[in-house]
């Protein structure tokens, strides 16, 4: 077995295989692409500063805003070695350039992971650095599991879709709403999308007013905030391993997560798997809320593309 391609990954999929789509399609065109880099990636200075001398490093994921995630492990840590499973030995180092940090700072994700970790399996925050130019680095521990869009799970799509639903239910039940200091409310999201805190956003006032007026009754939980398929990690035994990419975690309607999770399953796996997300969650589809929260999500895509 190639030691650079371990059987379990926490975070982005292996660089082998085709790129993956990180979320549902925009209403106005194709989705933003995220996935393993297809070209050589230079390791930024800020990332190198967070590494050990003997670390082996490779870029494993690029998001649509230009952020790069690197996987770092000690040179001695092969998949079968004790060092491989030692806490903090294998790390994921997320680099965010200034323009991406201005949209969704990694500091948000760091504080949300620290809050959520006592209640549910998420990576441990090991380090966070903010540079003078506004770029950021977030270093986290690995979770032993594969992303739901890993080639293995794309070969077992029905099972993966069910686990995504089960995992989302676990998350919602584990995180205490009354203790959560973060929100992901409709009004907050629309304020950012209309220019109140999201650079480049341009959602028309008429669309904001319509979405606010048509907001459904709330069934509050602590939502993931980006419940797309790549952000659920699954064990080799087909159970939830944990969740990643928690920069938007906050109190909101459970359907704000569910509607996007099921749409992402369709986009990543093809048609015919959405119902398994709802079955795994243990809920009957609420089509009115599904439609509403997908419109809200897609409004974000349109605002960012203006």
Cα–Cα distance, 45 to 138 (Å, whole number):
14
Q: Is residue 57 part of a domain?
A: no
- 272-303 exposure pattern, b = at least 16 Cβ within 10 A, e = fewer: ebbebbbebbeeebbeebbebbbebbbbbbbb
DSSP element (H, E) containing 103:
helix 98-103
Tell me the residue range of the domain where 259 lies: 146-305
Q: Is residue 284 part of a domain?
A: yes
Structural domain count, the chain:
1
Q: Is residue 103 part of a domain?
A: no
Q: What pLDDT is recorded for position 13?
A: 39
Cα–Cα distance, 114 to 211 (Å, whole number):
32
Q: What pLDDT is recorded for position 211?
A: 93
The two structure tokens encoding residue 185: 């409310």
Cα–Cα distance, 119 to 29 (Å, whole number):
38
Q: Is residue 181 part of a domain?
A: yes
Q: What pLDDT is recorded for position 61?
A: 82
- 82-105 exposure pattern, b = at least 16 Cβ within 10 A, e = fewer: eebeeeebbbbbbbbbeebbebbb
**Burial (CB count within 10 angstroms: exposed 0-12, middle 13-18, buried 19+), residue 156:** middle
Cα–Cα distance, 225 to 61 (Å, whole number):
19
Q: What is the DSSP letter of 117?
A: T
Candidate list 226, 253, 257, 301, residue with the active-site label? 226
List the chain pLDDT tens, one digit each, 306 residues.
333 333 344 444 333 333 334 443 333 333 445 777 878 888 999 999 988 888 899 998 888 788 899 999 887 766 665 655 565 688 999 999 998 888 889 999 999 999 999 999 999 999 999 999 999 999 999 998 999 999 999 999 999 999 999 999 999 999 999 999 999 999 999 988 876 554 445 678 888 899 999 999 999 999 999 999 999 999 999 999 999 999 999 999 999 999 999 999 999 999 999 999 999 999 999 999 999 999 999 887 655 554
Torsion-angle region of 141 (φ positive above 0: left; ψ -120 to 50: alpha; else: beta)? beta
Q: Which of 27, 23, 20 is nearest to 291 (CA)?
A: 27
Q: Is residue 63 part of a domain?
A: no
DSSP element (H, E) containing 248:
none
> Model pTM?
0.83
Q: Is residue 166 part of a domain?
A: yes
Q: What is the pLDDT of residues 246-298, one digit of tens each?
A: 999 999 999 999 999 999 999 999 999 999 999 999 999 999 999 999 999 98
Look up the CATH number of the domain holding residue 198. 3.90.1200.10
Taking each helix axis from N to C end, the angle separating 287-305 and 254-269, rounded to the nearest 10 degrees, works out to 70
Q: Is residue 236 part of a domain?
A: yes
Q: Is residue 225 part of a domain?
A: yes
Q: Give yes or no: 226 in active site.
A: yes
């Amino acid at each position: 077995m190639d030691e650079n391609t371990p059987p379990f990954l926490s975070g982005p999929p292996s660089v082998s295989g085709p790129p993956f789509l990180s979320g549902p399609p925009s209403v106005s065109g194709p989705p933003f692409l995220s996935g393993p880099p297809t070209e050589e990636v230079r390791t930024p200075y800020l990332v190198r500063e967070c590494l050990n001398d003997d670390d082996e490093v490779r870029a494993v994921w690029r998001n649509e805003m230009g952020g790069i995630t690197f996987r770092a492990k000690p040179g001695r840590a092969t998949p079968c070695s004790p060092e491989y499973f030692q806490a903090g030995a294998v790390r994921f180092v997320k680099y965010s350039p200034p323009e991406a940090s201005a949209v969704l700072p990694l500091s948000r994700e760091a504080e949300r992971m620290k809050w959520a970790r006592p209640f549910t399996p998420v990576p441990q925050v090991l380090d966070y650095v903010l540079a003078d130019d506004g770029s950021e680095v977030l270093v986290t521990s690995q979770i032993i599991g594969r992303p739901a869009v890993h080639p293995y799970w794309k070969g077992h799509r029905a099972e993966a879709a069910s686990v995504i639903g089960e995992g989302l239910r676990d998350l919602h039940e584990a995180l205490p709403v009354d203790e959560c200091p973060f929100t992901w409310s409709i009004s907050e999201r629309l304020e950012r999308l209309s220019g109140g805190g999201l650079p480049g956003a341009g959602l028309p006032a008429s669309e904001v007013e319509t979405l606010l007026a048509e907001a459904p009754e709330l069934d509050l939980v602590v939502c993931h905030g980006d419940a797309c398929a790549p952000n659920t990690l699954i064990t080799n035994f087909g159970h939830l391993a944990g969740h990643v990419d928690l920069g938007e975690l906050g109190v909101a309607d459970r359907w704000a997560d569910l509607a996007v999770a099921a749409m992402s399953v369709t986009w990543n796996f093809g048609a015919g798997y959405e119902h398994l997300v709802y079955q795994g969650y243990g809920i009957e589809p609420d089509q009115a809320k599904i439609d509403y929260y997908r419109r809200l999500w897609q409004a974000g895509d349109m605002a960012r593309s203006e």
